[in-house]
Amino acid sequence: MRDVFWSAPESRALWETLAGPVLEEIGRCDAERLEVERARIAPHLRERVTKPVYSVADRFASWERLVCRMEPGWSGSDDFYPISAYSNDLDSRDSLDEVMNTLSPTARESGLGTLLTDLDARFDAASVPDPDRSLSPWVRPAKDHQRLPGRWRRKPLHIPWDD
């Protein structure tokens, strides 16, 4: 099984410094997410799923990996990155807002908020406005959002699915 923090060194470094109470809060978020994910699969398979696919750590790491892929100088890798993964990563990022809103101020100030703000700024720097929504035929949110965050109206300068 692949390490959740593969190619996400900033997320890994932060997780290594998080205090026990913060990790407990994250654990509660992950337990809630696990129940959501388990509810979507056949009853005879539910007990086999013991960790959420979209844990808080995974969502931070996924966002970091996307940002890195979009930044100038990224040299690519053997990892295939389809355009559908971009939608998934944007949806995952949206869910981090929900997670951050459920955490205590102590947890938000533990570095999680700073990392998210930094990654968002790097995303903005590695993307441009897309007023024509040129990606919309392929990049759609999983939920029917009335008001999507601005990141949904941006497109990468470096297209990661063309590598």
Instruction: Note whether residue 4 is domain-resident.
Output: no
The total domain count for the chain is 1
Instruction: Note whether residue 63 is domain-resident.
Output: yes
Instruction: Note whether residue 1 is domain-resident.
Output: no
Q: Provide DSSP, the chain.
A: ---TTTT-HHHHHHHTT--HHHHHHHHHHHHHHHHHHHHTS-HHHHTT--S-TT-HHHHHHHHHHHHHHHSTT----S----HHHHHHHHHHHHHHHHHHHHS-HHHIIIIIHHHHHHHHHHHHHTEEE-TT-TTTTT---SS--SS--GGGGEEESS-GGG-
Of 158, 75, 55, 70, the closest CA to residue 120 belongs to: 70
49: containing domain: 9-162
Instruction: Note whether residue 67 is domain-resident.
Output: yes
pTM of the model: 0.91
Residues 90 and 148: beta-carbon distance below 8 Å: no
Digit-by-digit pLDDT tens for the chain (163 residues) are 569 999 899 999 999 999 999 999 999 999 999 999 999 999 999 989 999 999 999 999 999 999 999 998 776 666 788 888 999 999 999 999 999 999 999 999 999 999 999 999 999 999 999 988 888 888 877 666 567 888 998 999 888 887 6
Looking at residue 64, what is its pLDDT?
Answer: 96
Distance CA 38, CA 33 (A): 9
Instruction: Note whether residue 3 is domain-resident.
Output: no
Looking at residue 116, what is its pLDDT?
Answer: 98
Looking at residue 162, what is its pLDDT?
Answer: 74
Distance CA 97, CA 127 (A): 20
